[in-house]
Structure 1
Amino acid sequence: MEKFYHFLTLAGIGLYWILVAGVTIRVVLKRRAVSVSLAWLMIIYIIPILGVACYFLFGELNLGRKRAERAKEMLAPFADWFSLLNDCHAHAPENFGRHIYRIDELCNNRFGLPALSGNSLSLQSSPDEILHSIIEDIENAQTSIRMVFYIWHPGGLADSVASALIQAAKRGVDVKLLLDSAGSHRFLRSEWEKMMRTAGIEVVQALEVSPWRIFLRRLDLRQHRKIIVIDEKIAYTGSMNLVDPAYFKQDSGVGQWIDIMIRVTGPTVNVLSAIHCWDWEVETGERTFPSLPECRIDPDEPQHPVQVVPSGPGMPEHLISQVLTLAINQANRSVRITTPYFVPSADLVATLKMTAQRGINVELIIPHKNDSVMVQWASRAFYSELLSAGVKIYEFYGGLLHTKSVVIDEEFCLVGTVNMDMRSLWLNFELTLAIDDLEFTKEMYWLQQSYMDDSHLVDIDQWKNRSMYSRFLERVFYLFNPLL
């Protein structure tokens, strides 16, 4: 019997060694950033068995066989639809500013998706203003409402939005609602979901979370976009989920979430509608395309070109990451960034450092307290090298700063759903607007300044004197970079 147990022990060790060796080879052979591969190897070797399990669950981009095949088949038809926009008068690159011109080139060459002029943009930064505006537009809807959100959380004015949708459906408006299964789990189990279905609203769970699928699809791959399209005439996108901050995560100890949304009219609305159509088909297999936009542009009016930049499985890889890098590299005077989750890739860190080192004023505004303790400590692991390169880091004290924005030279900006972490830039379904509108950009810059007025500038000398305990936690959580 003792020999039998000895044999089982040796066999277990041997099988574990083969498993670890196999996963190690797979990690090394995958074409991705060296820092990501090294982080995974650290996790696999430091946390036996659990590290290997984490890699199988989170280590590779796995959309699931059916969705992956569907997304692959969709790329050409959607690229063809987007390419039709190049014949539209709203696509006039000869009138584009220098910032958006190169971004239009990149998105057009990779996805056939051009920047379009003739838009009207409204920056909304108050939760009440945002939700009341959405409710009013829903109440005036005539034909269709399309929505996709990562989180819909019941309570407060979010319930008023749900009521407005139900009333719209009852008067004959076609309503399609796509909600991430993990982010919106409370709403999808609530009475609101049942009442919506009863009223005729199509409610679809994106990337359904199920114990039967844990090894068939990467669980932390999420539908993170926030889009509303009403009658193909009005659209919203930005950082805010469908929540009333006064009723959301009140026990997390970080204060209310601080967000923005952008209300859009003009040709960009049809592009945002097409992104919803993409997401809807990935999940349901149902293909529809929006109507092509009306492109009558008055050359005497401000052009306000906007480039819609989507990313996610099936779409051109790392497109938002490329646009972000391109925008930062074009800066001549300043780069100001707000993000709630800052766990950047080595490439992004190098870009920020180089930008500061060539004399550009680089400012980063992030929350002092985060709803993710792991992210909070991992973020601080980057402070020393960024501060040493001349990047200014501000910690915001007025709540969880959830706004995702980049302003370049006070002339051009990126706003959307994307966090400065590898999950957003490399993994999730995300959306950014690249906006060449001086007036809108000034508003965004002033809003960022109001965040800075409620922030503390991190002093490099004080930072160097932080405790060994803090340094230890920073390095420990930095190891989990691929999971954050």
Structure 2
Amino acid sequence: MPNSLIVFIHAVIIIGFTIRVIMMRRPVGVTLAWLILIFALPLAGAIMYLLVGERHLGRQRVAREAALRVHYGQWLQKLPRNAVADCSSLNRKSVPLKRLLEGALGIPALAGNRLHLMDVTETTLRSIIADIDRAKHTCHMEFYIWNEGGTADEVCEAMIRAAKRGAICRVLVDAIGSSGFLKSNLVRRLRNKGIEVVAALPVGPVRMFFVRLDLRLHRKIVVIDGEIAYTGSLNLVDPRYFKQTAGVGQWVDAMVRIEGPAVQALGALFLWDWVVETGQDIKALMETRNLKTAPQVGSANVQTVPSGPGSTSDTTHQLLLASIYAAHSELIMTTPYFVPDESLLTALLSATKRGVNVTIILPEKIDSLLVRYACRSYFDDLLTAGVRIICFQGGLLHTKSITVDGEIALFGTVNLDPRSFWLDFEVTLSVYDPDFGARLRALQLRYAEDTQSVDLQSRQKRSARERFFENTARLFGPLL
């Protein structure tokens, strides 16, 4: 091939993709990261951009979501008035957050919930099994990862028993996160027993040209009979049998068991995801008693916050920023993956300048080397500003939680990184209840006991090679 032709193709790739990237009008950091990649490696960068550069979900999925919005608008209008939390029952800091989410999603905060925070995986799985064994009508389960082994297999046995009693059992798992499970004999056995098992966001060599493959279903939801629900950071795994060779120790998670009107919101979210993946009739599914209004049984006000690529893509990010700016005295965050964008970093730095005690609890070891380096590139700025960063040493801390002044709690599946903000389908509970806030804060402080604080002076002694790796990884943070 003549050199002049190679130069021409090279220029066309760079100019064409540069124009495309700029015209998408995404955050500046994301745009610059893609431009750096395309200029440095034109052919490889162009191929990567075609595969994962834009949030293509596929026409069929988009059409199904559009049709569902009509049904969900009707469902929201039928919510009993006494189930909707009134602003008068919230403290002053909670009201702006509640209104933000109502304006962005149309989903109100629901009153009268009882929340049980669970931080021992074995206890959580046993509780789920016990609730499934009491199920009469429906068992709906949605997870990013379902992994065979240990107590997780006993959950499957409970589902089989429920199906045998006549309960409708549905399992929705991510096609990549649960790829091993979907190929297992256990899934074939579940299906043979009448349990519907569906892979969300399937992948394939042809599909990759029409749908972005790294957009994943990261939610963790269990809904039993429309009366009991669970959500949080725990995948359907027994940590004793999960990623034992990764060198990070056992994964440490937390879930919340919910009774009350908020169960209906999580049930509606499951049905949304199920219909989008299967195309089943939403009216028929709503008649399976998974969307009944549960009675008020407690005092917690809970707002369910779904997010993902599409119309709700910025909601969680906006909620995080608003929560940080709402803090007056204390902000505690736990997350396994911490790669903040510029706006989130600025919010954290400004919080310390207002006198807020900011603590970020991270696992000492994580299962991604690139994310580890990108995460640590932010430490110096945060430590200099007065943020306390501590590394959990009791395993891979996977709990995703934020407490604001011990009164407001954000709890769910969202990591503090661009992937959770804009690429994955997530769910967060925004809880306006001092009692739950205190319990979640107490759990965060227990995590802080098994930690080692990051020291700025020690950080400044690290090698130039280490600094270079961190700063290089930071350039690609918006793409992680």
TM-score normalised by L of structure 1: 0.95
Cα deviations across residues 334-354 of structure 1 (Å, max 9, x unaligned)? 000000001111111111111
Q: How many residues align?
A: 474
Cα deviations across residues 438-478 of structure 1 (Å, max 9, x unaligned)? 22221211111111111111111221221111101102222
**Corresponding residue of 1:99:** 93
**Corresponding residue of 1:293:** 293
Letter in 2 for 1:219: L
The one of 429, 432, 438 equivalent to 2:428 is 432
The one of 149, 155, 158 equivalent to 1:155 is 149
**Corresponding residue of 2:16:** 22
Matches within 5 A, 1:35-434: 35-85=29-79, 87-286=81-280, 287=282, 288-289=285-286, 290-294=290-294, 297=296, 303-434=299-430
Distance 1:19 1:76, change over 3 A: farther
| Unaligned residue ranges in structure 2 (runs of 5+) | none
CA distance in 2, matches of 1:196, 1:98: 48
Task: Give the 3-state SS of the residue equivalent to 2:79 in structure 1.
Answer: helix
Stretch deviating more after TM superposition (10-19 or 22-31): 10-19
Letter in 2 for 1:313: P
Letter in 2 for 1:350: T
CA distance in 2, matches of 1:86, 1:314: 29
CA distance in 2, matches of 1:206, 1:168: 23
Cα deviations across residues 236-280 of structure 1 (Å, max 9, x unaligned)? 000000000000000000000000010000000011000001111
How far off is 1:139 after superposition?
Answer: 0.8
Task: Give the 3-state SS of the residue equivalent to 2:25 in structure 1.
Answer: coil
How far off is 1:294 after superposition?
Answer: 4.2
Task: Give the 3-state SS of the residue equivalent to 1:32 in structure 2.
Answer: coil
Residues 236 and 262, structure 1, Cα contact 8 Å, conserved in 2: yes
How far off is 1:131 after superposition?
Answer: 0.6
Letter in 1 for 2:342: A
How far off is 1:86 after superposition?
Answer: 6.6
Cα deviations across residues 352-405 of structure 1 (Å, max 9, x unaligned)? 111111110011111111101110001011111111222111111111010000
| Unaligned residue ranges in structure 1 (runs of 5+) | none
CA distance in 2, matches of 1:171, 1:315: 39
Letter in 2 for 1:122: H
CA distance in 2, matches of 1:280, 1:125: 28
Residues 83 and 113, structure 1, Cα contact 8 Å, conserved in 2: no
How far off is 1:309 after superposition?
Answer: 0.7
Distance 1:352 1:80, change over 3 A: farther
Residues 86 and 114, structure 1, Cα contact 8 Å, conserved in 2: no
CA distance in 2, matches of 1:418, 1:282: 21
CA distance in 1, matches of 2:397, 2:244: 15
CA distance in 2, matches of 1:32, 1:250: 38
Distance 1:463 1:89, change over 3 A: same
How far off is 1:230 after superposition?
Answer: 0.1
Residues 83 and 112, structure 2, Cα contact 8 Å, conserved in 1: no
Letter in 2 for 1:394: I
Distance 1:80 1:19, change over 3 A: farther
TM-score normalised by L of structure 2: 0.96
How far off is 1:97 after superposition?
Answer: 2.2
Q: Report percent identity of matched pairs.
A: 44
CA distance in 1, matches of 2:80, 2:464: 56
CA distance in 1, matches of 2:70, 2:406: 36
How far off is 1:292 after superposition?
Answer: 4.2
CA distance in 2, matches of 1:389, 1:84: 48
Letter in 1 for 2:199: Q
Q: Cα RMSD (Å) of the superposition?
A: 1.5
Stretch deviating more after TM superposition (215-224 or 264-273): 215-224
Residues 259 and 294, structure 2, Cα contact 8 Å, conserved in 1: no
Stretch deviating more after TM superposition (156-165 or 63-72): 63-72
CA distance in 1, matches of 2:122, 2:164: 25
Task: Give the 3-state SS of the residue equivalent to 1:133 in structure 2.
Answer: helix
Residues 58 and 219, structure 1, Cα contact 8 Å, conserved in 2: yes
How far off is 1:146 after superposition?
Answer: 0.8
Residues 30 and 479, structure 2, Cα contact 8 Å, conserved in 1: no
Letter in 1 for 2:141: M
Distance 1:351 1:76, change over 3 A: farther
